[in-house]
Amino acid sequence: MASIMLDDIKHETVDLETIPVEEVFQQLKCSPQGLTTEDGNQRLQMFGANKLEEKQESKLLKFLGFMWNPLSWVMESAAIMAIALANGGGKPPDWQDFVGIVVLLIINSTISFIEENNAGNAAAALMAGLAPKTKVLRDGKWSEEEAAISVPGDIISVKLGDIIPADARLLEGDPLKIDQSALTGESLPVTKNPGDQVFSGSTCKQGEIEVVVIATGVHTFFGKAAHLVDSTNNVGHFQKVLTSIGNFCICSIAVGIVIEIIVMYPVQHRPYRSGIDNLLVLLIGGIPIAMPTVLSVGIGYVT
């Protein structure tokens, strides 16, 4: 029966955030004296470690990804044209344009990669700010353990300067001052009274009290927010605007190339190489390859 109840806790079918603390103990099948080591290990197997999973991605693939978009495709086509098509009229391939386009693509991708990587580092730093250690009551004794082993039902001691290792409910004691600005945006510490909930990742600024853990890992408020951000597929308005501008440029250039080919060759009877050079100018000059990067960096500095 106990395993069935704990399974309900795992699937979040029981509201442990608002029910009285006495009922929290009943639902979690625990007591103010804490869990035994055996219970803790069993719950660790059921609920998983109290940490957030970090996705490992290839830096090289991430860098190359900034060269895989419609604007870059046009520039890459121009680079191929510069060495594959611009070799008539007794002249060698246009290596100068080819090198210039490749360098431009690399510079643009490097700036975009650095900006994106800095954002990723900020997220990693935030995750690193989660409590590495915690003081937990197991087998009737207090000991300092890795926060990753915390499970629902654990009794944890929180004092000034501690980072809350998991979502928890306050037990009997004096009110706490909790800084949860990183989670909620509140500029000042908030007062938490016995029975109130505290979130993983928040910091105790005043007081000392014992708490009972009600959620760990991805089931915490912080974990849900991180998962929501990581799993969203919605395209932002800024990205939609950039895509619209890019599509407009590509369509305009496509129409311009068709018109220019008709005018240069059937009408004006220009030499092959002269026409290719003009088409390269239209391709390279008409694509705002650095526009997404410039706007992103500029807005980042303004905000």
Residue range 228-287, pLDDT digits in tens = 766 655 666 767 777 788 888 888 888 988 998 898 888 888 888 788 888 888 887 777
Taking the CB of residue 125, how many other CB atoms lie within 10 A of it?
A: 9
| Beta bridge mates, 156 | 136, 211
Q: How high is the pLDDT of residue 253? A: 86
- The closest of 191, 179, 149 to 166, measured between CA atoms, is 149
Least confident of 72-86, 174-188, 234-248: 234-248
Q: How high is the pLDDT of residue 123? A: 54
CA distance 38 to 153: 13
CA distance 260 to 277: 12
pLDDT for residue 207 is more than 50: yes
| Rg of the chain, C-alpha, whole Å | 30
Q: Is 246 left (phi over 0), alpha (psi -120 to 50) or beta?
A: alpha
Q: Which two tokens stand for residue 207?
A: 């007081």
Q: In what order do the strands lie in the sheet with 203-206?
A: 190-192, 176-179, 203-206
Give the single-character DSSP code of 172.
Answer: S
Cβ neighbors of 126 (< 8 A, separation 6 or more) are 182, 201
